[in-house]
């Protein structure tokens, strides 16, 4: 069937769904029957024991509970049906190429819910297949919750559910308040769903076409966003950093291209890199999944992405296929392999997992402990030397096709090794900022130790800090590292808790802590 024919069917089904919404329901849960009435609850409420023991009162309570549920469900259905269509022609914005508009006095990318399958970039068969697989897994579900699962408007999904019933793939199990129904699969529907699951087991939210995802990345890119110096200072406020270092990092952030943090271990390179994204202070929208060349790629990763609550004024208008998250900070350390940089296909599911660089788009990608990965540095550099220059990447699909995706993030390489010993000049040229994180000066080390001791509620005198520095650092020719105050104070905390001692720092306590910490360092 051609795409144009699909769009025609889509419009027809949408109109059918709207006409059905205007009809009163044949019967609702108010007309309880033995088949539909659930057993009465035995949970204690505000009624007395005598009232609860009365069968008539129990029936009345159950009926009232059903009425309350029916009223809430009907309210949701009516709100979904009465939701005004978003017009993109008035502001000159085409939903198919740019899913954004002006909101709240500033230009923001907002994925508003499409009112047709054509605007959603989906075909009728794609949505029908997802519904069949979902019902095959779920068993029985209301039309409203099916629409929430698919992520599309209820009137649009309602028309598609009606078409599935016409084709005898689904059936009504019961009616629900508001003109909704409980749907279940017929034998023919279960057979069709089982065949579809062989090709792909995915039945989550409907995927977003690749072209719309690319538009969203372009609209939310870090490039061109230049946080103020005050915002950058605020993001790094919990770290002890000089103004000169803040300036260097801030310039790298403004470039939007990347930076190389290097220097001795224990001076906060990883902590600094993790705070870079916070300086931008905003959120982005990403699709839960993407469809490219007919294959589904899962983008949203709950282990790496942090969702935020959507503005209540927008909630009903938002395309349910998208989720609002904090700008991502993806960290990859010594466990990084070449497989993490390609689409990973989950065996026997037909679903792909997006690579790390794709999950970090519009955010920060930190390659920590660079030079200690399970893959050689040459492999990584050869894989990324073109994306770093061109700002796009090429990924290989399971079918053998290749797709082009944005490579749009601030990449930070962090290493204890000298950069020129790891990479060649051609690669270093593509990372414009190389920032050395040096050991702490004695004054900064002293101030940091006192500050952290007070925060840990330790009694710390100037004399004891002098003893620490002169006897255990200057005399031992030991470098001042920014991590040492934290680690030494943890040793002291453990000593106090074990021996039930007061929180005061003594010479004996410091001697023992230093012996434990630096014994083989």
98 in a domain, yes or no?
no
pLDDT of residue 33: 37
Q: How far is CA 431 from the centre of its chain?
A: 27
The DSSP string of 451-478 is HHHHHTT-B--HHHHHHHHIIIIITTT-
Among 41-45, 112-116, 357-361, 364-368, which range has the highest average pLDDT?
Answer: 357-361
Same domain, 196 and 264: no
Angle at 110 between CA 105 and CA 111, to 5 degrees: 155
Residue 273 and residue 366 in contact, taking contact as beta carbons nearer than 8 Å: yes
Within this chain, do residues 300 and 385 fall inside the same structural domain, yes or no?
yes
pLDDT at 359 > cutoff 50: yes
Based on the domain organization, do 215 and 356 belong to the same domain?
yes
> Is residue 133 in a domain?
yes
Please choose, from the candidates 322, 319, 323, the residue with its C-alpha nearest in 3D space to the C-alpha of residue 306: 323
Identify whether 383 is part of a domain.
Answer: yes
Q: What is the mean pLDDT of residues 13-42?
A: 41
> Is the predicted pLDDT of residue 337 greater than 50, yes or no?
yes
pLDDT for 313 equals 72
Q: What angle is formed at CA 318 by the lines to CA 315 and CA 322, rounded to 5 degrees?
A: 115
How wide is the angle at C-alpha 346 spanned by C-alphas 345 and 350, nearest 5°?
75
Query: 360 pLDDT exceeds 50?
Result: yes
Give the domain CATH number at 258. 3.40.50.300
Looking at residue 80, what is its pLDDT? 57
Answer whether residue 291 is part of any domain: yes
Average pLDDT, the chain: 82
Are 191 and 217 in the same domain? no
Co-location of 384 and 472 in the same domain = no
pLDDT per residue as tens digits for the range 153-194: 998 999 999 999 999 999 999 988 778 899 999 999 999 999
Residue 430 and residue 475 share a domain: no
What CATH number does the domain containing 130 carry? 1.10.10.10
Sequence-ordered list of residues with C-beta below 8 angstroms from that of 479, at least 6 positions apart, any chain: 264, 439
The whole-number pLDDT of residue 4 equals 46
Place of tokens 């003109």: 179
Q: What whole-number distance in Å separates Cα of residue 317 and Cα of residue 80? A: 9
Q: What is the pLDDT of residue 124?
A: 93
| Alpha-carbon span 282 to 220, nearest angstrom | 10
Q: What pLDDT sits at residue 487?
A: 95
Q: Is residue 154 located within the same domain as residue 49?
A: yes
Last residue of a domain, one of 401, 436, 471: 436
Is 106 within a domain? no
C-alpha 307/C-alpha 325 separation (Å) is 4
Residue 101 covered by a domain: no
Largest interatomic CA distance in the chain: 90
Question: pLDDT tens digits for 211-227?
Answer: 999 999 999 998 888 89
User: What are phi and psi for residue 342, nearest 5 degrees?
Assistant: -125, 165
Report pLDDT for 393. 94
In the chain, what percentage of residues exceed pLDDT 70? 79
Specify the pLDDT at position 64: 64
* Domain end residue (candidates: 178, 201, 224): 201
The tokens for 137 are 């897994």
pLDDT tens per residue across span 41-74: 444 444 445 555 566 666 666 566 656 656 666 6
SS3 322: strand
Residue 187 lies in a domain: yes
Question: Does the pLDDT of residue 28 top 70, yes or no?
Answer: no
**Would 401 be classed as within a structural domain?**
yes
Q: Are 186 and 171 in contact (CB under 8 A)?
A: yes
Q: Point out the domain boundary residue: 436, 458, 484.
A: 436
The CA distance from 453 to 503, in Å, is 10
How far apart are alpha carbons 29 and 47 in whole angstroms?
24
Query: What is d(CA 330, CA 367) in angstroms, rounded to the nearest whole number?
Result: 9
Domain tally for the chain?
3
Residues 240, 369 within the same domain: yes
- Tell me, rounded to whole angstroms, the distance of Cα 226 from its chain centroid: 23
- Pair 446, 428 in one domain: no
Summarize the confidence of residues 80-99 as an average pLDDT. Answer: 41
What is the per-residue pLDDT for 57? 67
User: Please, which residues bridge with residue 402 across strands?
Assistant: 396
Q: Which residue range is the domain that position 325 belongs to? A: 211-436
Phi-psi region of 69 (alpha: psi -120 to 50; beta: other; left: phi over 0): alpha
Dump pLDDT digits (tens) for 389-444. 889 999 999 888 999 999 999 999 998 888 888 887 878 888 889 999 999 999 99
Residue 105's pLDDT is what? 37
Residues 157 and 80 sit within 8 Å (Cβ to Cβ): no
Write out pLDDT tens, residues 467-505. Answer: 999 999 999 999 999 999 999 999 999 999 999 999 999
Indicate the SS3 state at residue 80: helix
CA 433-438-444 angle, 5° bins: 125
Q: What is the DSSP string of 340-376?
A: GGSPEEETTTTEEE--HHHHTTTSEEEETTTT-SSS-
Q: Which two tokens stand for residue 267?
A: 């001076």
Residues 45 and 149 in one domain: yes
Residue 474 per-residue DSSP state:
I
3-state secondary structure 83-136: CCCCCCCCCCCCCCCCCCEEECCEEECCCECCCCHHHHCCCHHHHHHHHHHHHH
End-to-end CA distance of the chain: 71
**In a shared domain, residues 283 and 431:** yes
Mean pLDDT of 332-337: 87
Residues 489 and 349 in one domain: no
- Assign 32 to helix, strand or coil: coil
Residue 225 pLDDT: 86
Q: Please, what is the Cα angle at 121 between 118 and 126, to 5 degrees?
A: 95
| Share above pLDDT 90 across residues of the chain, in percent, rounded to a whole number | 53
From residue 332, give the alpha-carbon distance in Å to each of 338, 355, 367, 370. Answer: 12, 11, 5, 9
Each residue's pLDDT tens digit, 252-289: 999 887 899 999 988 888 888 888 988 888 899 999 99
Provide the 10 A C-beta neighbour count for residue 393.
22
26 or 62, greater pLDDT = 62
Tokens of 120: 């959603």
Band of residue 103 on the pLDDT scale cut at 50, 70, 90: very low
What pLDDT score does 82 carry? Answer: 57
For the chain, the C-alpha Rg in angstroms (whole number) is 30
* pLDDT tens track for 296-307: 999 999 999 999
Q: 30 to each of 26, 56, 183, 239, how far by Cα in Å? A: 11, 17, 19, 61
């Amino acid at each position: 069937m051609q795409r144009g024919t699909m769009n025609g069917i889509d419009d027809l089904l949408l109109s059918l769904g709207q006409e059905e919404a205007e009809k009163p329901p044949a019967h609702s849960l108010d007309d309880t029957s033995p088949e539909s009435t659930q057993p009465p609850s035995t949970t204690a409420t505000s009624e007395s024991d005598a009232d609860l023991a009365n069968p008539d009162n129990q029936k009345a309570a159950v009926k009232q509970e059903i009425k309350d549920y029916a009223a809430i469900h009907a309210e949701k259905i009516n709100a979904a049906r009465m939701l005004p269509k978003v017009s993109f022609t008035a502001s000159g914005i085409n939903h198919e190429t740019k899913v954004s508009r002006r909101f709240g006095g500033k230009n923001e990318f907002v994925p508003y819910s499409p009112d047709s399958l054509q605007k959603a970039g989906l075909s009728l068969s794609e949505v029908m297949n997802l519904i069949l697989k979902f019902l095959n897994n779920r068993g029985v579900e209301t039309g409203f919750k099916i629409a929430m699962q698919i992520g599309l408007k209820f009137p649009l999904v309602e028309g598609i559910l009606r078409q599935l019933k016409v084709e005898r793939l689904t059936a009504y199990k019961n009616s629900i308040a508001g003109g909704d129904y409980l749907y279940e699969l017929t034998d023919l529907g279960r057979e069709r769903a089982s065949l579809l699951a062989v090709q792909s087991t995915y039945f989550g939210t409907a995927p977003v076409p690749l072209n719309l995802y690319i538009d969203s990345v372009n609209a939310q890119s870090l490039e061109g966003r230049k946080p103020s110096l005050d915002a950058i200072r605020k993001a790094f406020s919990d770290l002890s950093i000089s103004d000169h270092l803040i300036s260097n990092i801030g310039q790298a952030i403004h470039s939007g291209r990347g930076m190389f943090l290097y220097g001795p271990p224990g001076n906060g390179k990883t902590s600094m890199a993790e705070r870079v994204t916070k300086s931008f202070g905003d959120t982005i929208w990403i699709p839960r999944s993407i469809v490219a060349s007919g294959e589904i790629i899962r983008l949203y990763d709950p282990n790496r992405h942090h969702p935020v609550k959507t503005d209540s004024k927008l909630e009903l208008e938002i395309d349910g296929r998208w989720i609002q998250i904090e700008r991502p900070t993806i960290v990859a350390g010594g466990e990084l392999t070449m497989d993490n940089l390609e689409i990973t296909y989950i065996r026997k599911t037909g679903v792909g997992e997006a690579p790390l660089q794709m999950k970090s788009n519009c955010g920060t990608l930190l390659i920590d402990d660079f030079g200690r990965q399970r893959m050689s540095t040459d492999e990584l550099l050869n894989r990324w030397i073109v994306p770093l220059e061109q700002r796009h990447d090429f990924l290989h699909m399971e079918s053998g096709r290749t797709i082009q995706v944005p490579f749009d993030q601030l990449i930070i390489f962090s290493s204890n090794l000298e950069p020129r010993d790891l990479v060649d000049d051609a690669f270093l040229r593509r990372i414009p900022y190389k920032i050395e994180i040096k050991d702490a000066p004695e004054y900064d080390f002293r101030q940091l130790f006192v500050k952290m001791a007070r925060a840990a509620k330790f009694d710390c005198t100037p004399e004891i800090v002098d003893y620490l520095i002169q006897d255990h650092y200057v005399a031992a020719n030991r470098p001042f590292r920014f991590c040492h105050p934290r680690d030494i104070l943890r040793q002291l905390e453990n000593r106090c808790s074990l021996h039930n001692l007061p929180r005061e720092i003594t010479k004996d306590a410091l001697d023992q802590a230093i012996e434990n910490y630096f014994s083989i360092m």
